[in-house]
Amino acid sequence: MKTLLKKLLKGRSSRWGLLAVVAVAGSLCVAGMGHKHYQLGGGFVGTSPGLVWNAVQTPLDPAGRTAALLVRTLDDDGSLAGLISAFGGDTGSEGVGEVQMISRDTAKLTMVAYAQLTGVTPKIMAIFVYTGTVQFTDPDNIVLNYTIYVYPASTDANHDGFPDKGATPAVTIPGVTGAGKRVPIL
């Protein structure tokens, strides 16, 4: 191996070729360092059409590539309440789910929440499944793009909190957007 390397470095064109390869490889490494990989985690306050919400992303791994998600609606212009009442409910639950980074600045999300009828024993009236993406525009700001699938509670025959396999949503709301801002340390 040593003699092969000596032979390769003996010629002038070989040395310049090797130097060019090393220079290109080095510049590619340095160029790649400029792309920040955003990490999941933290508390966010945000808006979606007609709503104000807060969310907590709890990292599930040290690199912040996956996180548990908890979302709570704080203010509603009536649009979510109208959808909840259309299924016989009078309140909505918090949403729970997970997010997973799929690129340096974008994560996919899945979340489940419920339309409920309150009382001595709350009853699930509908299951809301949210799927979409969370994109970081910088370390403290996110943009959401998601679809809401609403299933009647009757599509959960085994009562596990999820729509049964093959169930058809009663309502699908595509193209919902939102934005959130990280709650900073003051």
Domain boundaries, the chain: 2-32, 42-182
Name the least confident of 9-23, 117-131, 138-152, 169-183.
Answer: 9-23
DSSP of 81-139: HHHHHHTT-SEEPPEEEEEEE-SSSEEEEEEEEEEEE-SSS-EEEEEEEEEEEEEEEET
Average pLDDT over residues 60-66: 96
H or E element: which one contains 12?
A: helix 12-32
The Cα 143–Cα 107 span in angstroms is 11
Q: What is the mean pLDDT of the chain?
A: 88
Predicted pLDDT at 86: 97
Q: Is the separation of the CB atoms in 56 and 72 below 8 Å?
A: no
Pairing state of beta strands 106-117 and 91-92? Answer: antiparallel
The fold of 42-182 is Lipocalin (2.40.128)
Predicted pLDDT at 180: 98
Percent above pLDDT 90 for the chain: 78
Residue 102's contacts (CB-CB under 8 Å, 6 or more residues apart) are: 108, 133
The Cα 109–Cα 130 span in angstroms is 8
Cα of first residue to Cα of last residue in the chain, in angstroms, is 59
Phi first, then psi: give them for residue 28, nearest 5 degrees: -65, -40
CA atoms within 13 A on the CB side of 23: 6
Question: Hey, what amino acid is at 40?
Answer: L
Residue 36's pLDDT band, with cuts at 50, 70 and 90, is: confident
Higher pLDDT, residue 18 or 50:
50
Percent above pLDDT 70 for the chain: 81
pLDDT tens-digit series, residues 76-104? 999 999 999 999 999 999 999 999 999 99
